[in-house]
Structure 1
Amino acid sequence: MADQVTHPPRISDLQASIARAQTQAKMDVLERTNEVLTRQLAAIFDGIGRNEQVELIYPNGEVVLITKARKRGEKEGGE
């Protein structure tokens, strides 16, 4: 009985499959990142809207506090 060996896939087919997988992986990462950033941005705006102080924490550990600004009067340069 002879061994049954199937024809190997074409290199171009493998390259196309890899390209599709890479594109899908990039889309998955971008969609997850977009969801996280959207939630974070909403939390910032919601917090400020509730007159809460919001902390932005940078990768180096620096913390920047964000609060709702009060309206400035005419003498302070406001309109």
Structure 2
Amino acid sequence: MADQITHPPRLSDLQLQITQAQTQAKMDLLERTNERLTSHLQAIFDGIGRNEQVELVYPGGELVLITKARPRRAGEGGE
């Protein structure tokens, strides 16, 4: 009995599969990034809401402190 050999996939089909896999990988990465950033923002807002000081650390190591500001009165600027 002869071996059954299937026809190789078309190059266009392989290119489509590659494009679809790249698109899915990008979507997965963006969804994970969005979840992480949403969590970070929630932590910032929650901390400020509890009157806590929130520390933002930049990649270079610079530290920026965020605190809840008191409401300004008329004539104090910022309007």
Counterparts of residues 40-79 of structure 1 (less than 5 Å): 40-74=40-74, 76-77=76-77
The Cα shift of 1:73 comes to: 3.4
Q: Percent identity?
A: 77
CA RMSD of aligned residues (A): 1.6
Instruction: For structure 2, list consecutive stretches of 5 or more residues without a partner in the other structure.
Output: none
Q: Is contact 1:71–1:78 with CA below 8 Å preserved after alignment?
A: no
The Cα shift of 1:70 comes to: 1.3
AA of the residue aligned to 1:25: A
- The TM-score, its normalising length taken from structure 1, stands at 0.89
Query: What is the rounded CA distance, in whole Å, between the counterparts of 2:31 and 2:77 in structure 1?
Result: 42
Q: Is contact 1:55–1:65 with CA below 8 Å preserved after alignment?
A: yes
Q: How many positions carry a matched residue from both structures?
A: 79
Q: C-alpha deviations, 1:15-70, integer Å up to 9, x for none?
A: 00001100000000000000000000010011001100000000001010000011
Instruction: For structure 1, list consecutive stretches of 5 or more residues without a partner in the other structure.
Output: none
Query: What is the rounded CA distance, in whole Å, between the counterparts of 1:12 and 1:76 in structure 2?
Result: 66
SS in 2 for 1:76: coil
Query: What is the rounded CA distance, in whole Å, between the counterparts of 1:17 and 1:30 in structure 2?
Result: 20
Query: What is the rounded CA distance, in whole Å, between the counterparts of 1:2 and 1:39 in structure 2?
Result: 60
- The TM-score, its normalising length taken from structure 2, stands at 0.89
